[in-house]
Amino acid sequence: MRKLLCAIALATPVVVFTQAPADSVSPRAKQLHDRAIVVDSHDDTMSKKCGVNEACTTMEGERIDHEAMMKGDLPKVTWEKIVEHIDHAVKTAGVDHVGLGSDFDGATMPLGMEDASKLPKITDALIKKGYSDADIEKILGGNILRVMEQVERVAAGGGRSSSQP
């Protein structure tokens, strides 16, 4: 943790954490040993079914993970957990420092969030939790666009704007 905090202190212009769920919401989120065991036991099946077809392997891996969730071999994670993470991050760091992305191209998504057509569920849940339209806009893309603009300014030699969060 000390090394991480030092890296953050030295970063210019910003640090962006991606695919990093809050440990206090999902303490096992980054402990992949269960997933590795399940995937390893299905590697031969996937190889025989998919060969070197990456799209097939991705879809088959997700199917296997979802089956494992339903059997209890992996924790059952539903789309509502995404909202829990967003809410926790906003309470911890502030709405100006939270963004949402997806990993529909290679990760097992939570049950109920299998593809981009399900993203409006997150917007609806944030509205029900009382988030303002402006805050939802920040979470769903505004913050990352602001960060990308900051990075471009620094790369162009313009420095970091102290007026931005």
Q: Are 62 and 108 in contact (CB under 8 A)?
A: yes
- Among 133, 155, 26, smallest CA distance to 89 is for 26
Cβ atoms of residues 23 and 29 within 8 Å:
yes
Residue 110: C-alpha distances to residues 35, 70, 82, 114, 137 (Å): 14, 12, 8, 7, 22
Domain ranges of the chain: 31-76, 77-157
- pLDDT over 70 at 30, yes or no: no
Q: Which residues pair with 64 in a beta bridge?
A: none
Q: Which two tokens stand for residue 23?
A: 């440990």
Q: What is the pLDDT of residues 40-91, one digit of tens each?
A: 444 556 566 777 777 777 777 788 888 888 888 888 889 999 999 899 989 9
55: Cβ contacts below 8 Å, ≥ 6 apart: none
pTM: 0.68
Average pLDDT over residues 81-103: 88
